[in-house]
Chain A
Amino acid sequence: AQKITQTQPGMFVQEKEAVTLDCTYDTSDPSYGLFWYKQPSSGEMIFLIYQGSYDQQNATEGRYSLNFQKARKSANLVISASQLGDSAMYFCAMRELWGSGTYKYIFGTGTRLKVLA
């Protein structure tokens, strides 16, 4: 079973509009963390936002917010007021405790976002 699922291979959004990128996860670890990363066409990976499983409020970082619905096991990324520079691949990732007693980070397959002028 997939630990992290991103069902949208590609998305389009008009400049200045908001867009939601979906992410669902599966874990039995009660103390997990959820992350979103951006990968522009240049290839580097950029950390955007983090949500801990015990955090009561949704995380926000500037134009990025994480819509965390714990019961549904979803952690969607919301980008407000999209800009052309937001065009990139976006990855959802989860940190969970594995059997060896250490944490591992698992990534989804990504969503490619294209912002239209």
Chain B
Amino acid sequence: NAGVTQTPKFQVLKTGQSMTLQCAQDMNHEYMSWYRQDPGMGLRLIHYSVGAGITDQGEVPNGYNVSRSTTEDFPLRLLSAAPSQTSVYFCASSYSEGSGNGYTFGSGTRLTVV
């Protein structure tokens, strides 16, 4: 089925470990973003990309890296996990920046850092 695929769905990390959250979409969307969702804080933008090879920081980029080598894939890397990064992470994509079609979201990754 077409959409945004996030893996893994659940992950437990130890403090200091690194990992990559995967995100792939098959809708040829140019615009992709990563958000984290924490209770009472809504969704906060971590990083986003307006196309292959172009990325930029969002509201809370510290501790995270991204790259966009292809239109389809937009992985999020945690460099050295900290308990403050315990959250639910969502990847989202849309056809273009100015689209009124809204985001298509992945199903989320629940990350716990101990």
Tell me the A residues contacting B by CB distance below 8 Å. Answer: 4, 6, 31, 33, 35, 37, 43-48, 50, 52, 91, 93, 95, 100, 102-110
B residues less than 8 Å from A33 (CB atoms): 98, 100
Q: How far is the CA of A61 from the CA of B112 in the complex (A)?
A: 37
B residues less than 8 Å from A100 (CB atoms): 56
Q: How far is the CA of A47 from the CA of B108 in the complex (A)?
A: 15
**Chain A interface main SS type:** strand
A108 CB contact (under 8 Å) in B42, B48, B108: B42
A residues less than 8 Å from B98 (CB atoms): 31, 33, 95, 103
B residues less than 8 Å from A35 (CB atoms): 102-103
A residues less than 8 Å from B100 (CB atoms): 33, 50, 52
CB atoms of A107 and B50 under 8 A apart = no
A residues less than 8 Å from B45 (CB atoms): 104-106
CB atoms of B102 and A50 under 8 A apart = yes
Closest B residue to A36 by CB, please name it.
Answer: B102
Whether A47 contacts B102 in the complex (CB less than 8 A), given A104-B48, A105-B33, A107-B35, comes out as yes
CB atoms of A50 and B58 under 8 A apart = no
The A-contacting residues of B in range 24-44, CB under 8 angstroms, are 31, 33, 35, 40-44
A residues less than 8 Å from B33 (CB atoms): 105
B107 CB contact (under 8 Å) in A37, A43, A50, A93: A43
Closest A residue to B57 by CB, please name it.
Answer: A100
CB atoms of A47 and B50 under 8 A apart = no
Whether A47 contacts B42 in the complex (CB less than 8 A), given A102-B56, A103-B97, A104-B58, comes out as no
A residues less than 8 Å from B87 (CB atoms): none
The 5 tightest CB contacts between A and B, nearest first, are A47-B102, A45-B105, A107-B43, A109-B42, A103-B97
Does B88 touch A at the CB level, under 8 Å? yes
